[in-house]
Amino acid sequence: MNNEDIKHLDLLSLFHYIFGGITALFSCLPIMHVIIGLSMISGKLFEESNGSESPAFFGWMFVIIGIAAIILGLSIAVCMIIAGGKLKRRKNRVFCMVVAGIECIFMPLGTVLGVLTLIALNKKSIQEIFAQPDTED
């Protein structure tokens, strides 16, 4: 095992943990959309003088899309954190590569992290590290 490759994998693992946390934090921003949608549904947002109600359809769209964005963002964040753990334990290289590919969508930090992870995981020496059988039970 190359000591430099192990250091690279440990750094990549740490950066996956950090970026996963940042992604989880920003995944909570659509909570504002859910709150706005719920207030539109309840009629509290647009109280008009002529007594007509706000369109509940648009409120439901805000709620559904907001919740879907939160779930998607948190799912991706969890996958990033799991990939950080797998990089640390040198397991599931393919999963780490898939997550690195998904990270490339999140410019600019995710792109840098994803590309560096893909480059590192395609090195022959690191492929050999991942191919070694587990020594712990």
Per-residue pLDDT averaged across 39-50, rounded?
68
Question: Does 43 fall in a domain?
Answer: yes
- CA torsion angle 64 69 72 75 (round to 10): -110
**The pLDDT of residue 49:** 46
* Listed residue (95, 96, 74, 105) closest to 15, CA to CA: 96
Question: Does 91 fall in a domain?
Answer: yes
Question: Does 131 fall in a domain?
Answer: no
Largest CA distance in the chain: 75
Residue 50 has pLDDT above 70, yes or no: no
Count of domains for the chain: 1
Residue 95 has pLDDT above 80, yes or no: yes
Residue 134 has pLDDT above 70, yes or no: no
Mean pLDDT of the chain: 86
pLDDT interval class at 43 (50, 70, 90): confident
Question: Does 72 fall in a domain?
Answer: yes
Residue 89 has pLDDT above 60, yes or no: yes
Are 113 and 103 within 8 A, CB to CB? yes
| CB within 8 Å of 124: residues ≥ 6 apart | none
Residue 54 DSSP code:
P
Percent residues over pLDDT 70 in the chain: 88
Note down the domain range covering 92.
3-126
Question: Does 59 fall in a domain?
Answer: yes
pTM: 0.81
